[in-house]
Amino acid sequence: MPIAVKLTINGKEASANVEPRTLLVEMIREHLRLTGTHVGCDTTQCGCCVVHLDGKAVKSCTMLAVQANGRAVTTIEGLASPDGKLHPMQEAFREHHGLQCGFCTPGMVMMGVDIARRLPGADEKTVRQELEGNLCRCTGYQGIVNAILSVVNPGAVKAHH
């Protein structure tokens, strides 16, 4: 039996009739047509599907859509200003070449924003530990780590070679 789920997505009210088993990421991508959030592994490991639920990073492949009823969800599409100005974390990924193929990038950026919220001033080791649940199969971690570090702790960024 379909369930009506209402939530705030990127600041706007949205609703969809979903099945109990519909995952939050499926509602975001297929019902709300916001395809910036990716599904990499679908097993809670890769972090490509990370979104913010009431401001905290969660894996949207490991939540039912109905669990987000009445909550506020932010996806990668909600980070930039309406005039197109990038969020500082997005700008940092561009600046530090924090992406190669780009598939993991939405989750990496969303996790980067969460790390910046929780751990201002974090060192490189901490940033790497905090990326435990976000995998880049291009193995482009140095640029990703530098991008996040440049926001949370600019002095700790290693010089470009």
Residues of this chain that interact with other proteins (CB under 8 A) are 1, 3, 19-21, 23, 42-44, 47, 50, 53, 56-59, 62-64, 66-67, 111, 114-115, 118, 130, 132-134
Nearer to other proteins, 9 or 64 (CB): 64
Nearer to other proteins, 62 or 97 (CB): 62
Least CB distance to other proteins at residue 111 (A): 7
Phi, psi of 91 (to 5 degrees): -60, -40
Least CB distance to other proteins at residue 87 (A): 19
DSSP 13: E
Least CB distance to other proteins at residue 110 (A): 9
Whole-angstrom distance, CA of residue 118 vs CA of residue 122: 9
List the one residue out of 152, 154, 160, 131 whose CA is nearest residue 50.
131
Question: What would the 3-class secondary structure string for 36-59 be?
Answer: CCCCCCCCCCCCCCEEEECCEEEE
Nearer to other proteins, 99 or 111 (CB): 111
Name the 3-class secondary structure at 64: strand
Least CB distance to other proteins at residue 81 (A): 25
